[in-house]
Structure 1
Amino acid sequence: MAFLENSRVEILGFAVALVAVTTVTAYFYLNKKKPKGSLDPEKFQDFKLVKRTQLSHNVAKFRFALPTPTSILGLPIGQHMSCRGKDSIGEEVIKPYTPTTLDSDVGYFELVIKGRFKYQPNQVKAFGMLAGGSGITPMFQVARAILENPKDNTNVSYLR
């Protein structure tokens, strides 16, 4: 009988300890504050470019370091940030970009950027357009310029 009582005391002690550990762990996990984002909506900030990957002749992926290896960008999903920099010909440009990374990607963020495009009449034989969202407006402008220029023989196809 004494053996059973000692076993019950040990099991009860173990159960109490397990509940305590679980409670403390849950408290810290649930009350863990999300790290503050690295962006300041009131001013431009400098971020160091750490890697550039060429994806096509005029598209590149840029990886920027955040202030610390554990920093997050803090931009809500699907939102854009205004970026200021110099383009390939040295002109200052300010444009909105949506990062391709999430806050689970700590210490850095990435932007995929298409290079500057200037349409010239008869530059190509045919122009295929695939666009949606905010990318639709530059395509409308290019298509309109082609269609309104009687000397431009470029064929235009558009898929949305």
Structure 2
Amino acid sequence: MWTFLQNPPVNKLDALIALVAVSVVSAIAAYIYLKKKAKDAYVLVGCLDPTTFKDFKLVKRTQINHNSARFRFALPTSTSVLGLHAGQFIRCRGMDREGKEVIRPYTPITLNSDVGYFELVVKMYPLGRMSHHFREMREGEYLAVKGPIDRFKYKPGQARSLGMLAGGTGMTPMFQLIRAILENPKDKTTIHLLYANHTFVDILLKEELDWFASKFPNHFKVCYVLSQILRCGPPEMNKAMAAHLNELGYTKDMQFEF
């Protein structure tokens, strides 16, 4: 004798709740996916135009030393990103002291993780044409910028170790890359930086570099080199140090004894 078992009756309310739950989960998943996709696309595009100069407002100027300053420029919205990959730079347009147009390349020290703004560190030379433009810039004024311009696009982990040689404002493209590497927990690249300047006060971004060296001792080491030396101490020490410095190639006019 065969016995047929019938399926238990389905509660319409339970079925409706299950359907609603599935729909909500699907909607949330779709929202997260589309939001991430939109964000990735926006980061890729950014606020720059490689063919046309766009104006960005100077919102903060911080003097670093006698001839260098840090310039912060606002992006269109508080959530905008510049859209510059590590290894790329921008071109800035300004006017020299004779009123003639001048265009120079610069590398921001900020990354796409810095939203709403980007920053430049600029050394203003006495006879520099673009230096004149930055020296005269005041908060509230605008800078014409075009980019990104490819130098090379760094890929995380593409080298086991990097050696960097920088002097003066040549630090800015290095700093951009240092940040990109050290702020990415998946990038295990080690960095050795040799940074040369005339005097101690000429060292740019030293506080930030020292912080990186302290926080990432196994991945980042920096050595500062000065072309002008100040020394102070007892006569025996000064005499001994002078001899050592002379052997290293530091001439008398490059040394000063208090």
Question: Aligning the two structures, in what range does the TM-score lie when normalised by the shorter sequence?
Answer: 0.5 to 0.7
Q: Runs of 5+ in structure 2 lacking a partner? A: 1-10, 128-164, 172-196, 198-226, 228-250
Corresponding residue for residue 116 of structure 2: 107
Corresponding residue for residue 59 of structure 1: 68
Separation in structure 2 between the aligned mates of residue 63 and residue 90 of structure 1, nearest angstrom: 26
Counterpart selection for 1:28 from 31, 34, 40: 34
Separation in structure 2 between the aligned mates of residue 45 and residue 18 of structure 1, nearest angstrom: 42
2:50 partner amino acid: P
Residues 1:74 and 2:83 are matched in the alignment:
yes
Displacement of 1:37 after TM fit? 1.8
Counterpart selection for 2:48 from 39, 46, 49: 39
* Alpha-carbon distance change, 85 to 21 in structure 1, aligned in 2, over 3 angstroms: same
1:41 partner amino acid: P
Greater helix proportion: 2
Aligned to 2:70, the other structure's residue is in SS state strand
Separation in structure 1 between the aligned mates of residue 120 and residue 70 of structure 2, nearest angstrom: 6
Q: Runs of 5+ in structure 1 lacking a partner? A: 119-130, 144-151
Separation in structure 2 between the aligned mates of residue 154 and residue 41 of structure 1, nearest angstrom: 46
Corresponding residue for residue 22 of structure 2: 16
Aligned to 2:55, the other structure's residue is in SS state coil
Mapping of residues 84-103 of structure 1, within 5 Å: 84-86=93-95, 93-103=102-112
Residues 1:132 and 2:132 are matched in the alignment:
no
Displacement of 1:21 after TM fit? 4.7
Displacement of 1:68 after TM fit? 3.1
* Alpha-carbon distance change, 68 to 15 in structure 1, aligned in 2, over 3 angstroms: closer
Aligned to 1:132, the other structure's residue is in SS state strand
Displacement of 1:111 after TM fit? 0.4
Separation in structure 1 between the aligned mates of residue 107 and residue 25 of structure 2, nearest angstrom: 44
Corresponding residue for residue 83 of structure 1: 92
Mapping of residues 134-149 of structure 1, within 5 Å: 135=170
1:24 partner amino acid: A
State the Cα deviation string for residues 76-103 of structure 1 (Å, max 9, x = none): 223111112246x576542211111122
TM-score, normalised to structure 2's length? 0.38
TM-score, normalised to structure 1's length? 0.57
* Alpha-carbon distance change, 26 to 81 in structure 1, aligned in 2, over 3 angstroms: same
CA RMSD in angstroms comes to 4.0
Identical-pair percentage = 50
* Alpha-carbon distance change, 69 to 30 in structure 1, aligned in 2, over 3 angstroms: closer
* Alpha-carbon distance change, 115 to 99 in structure 1, aligned in 2, over 3 angstroms: same
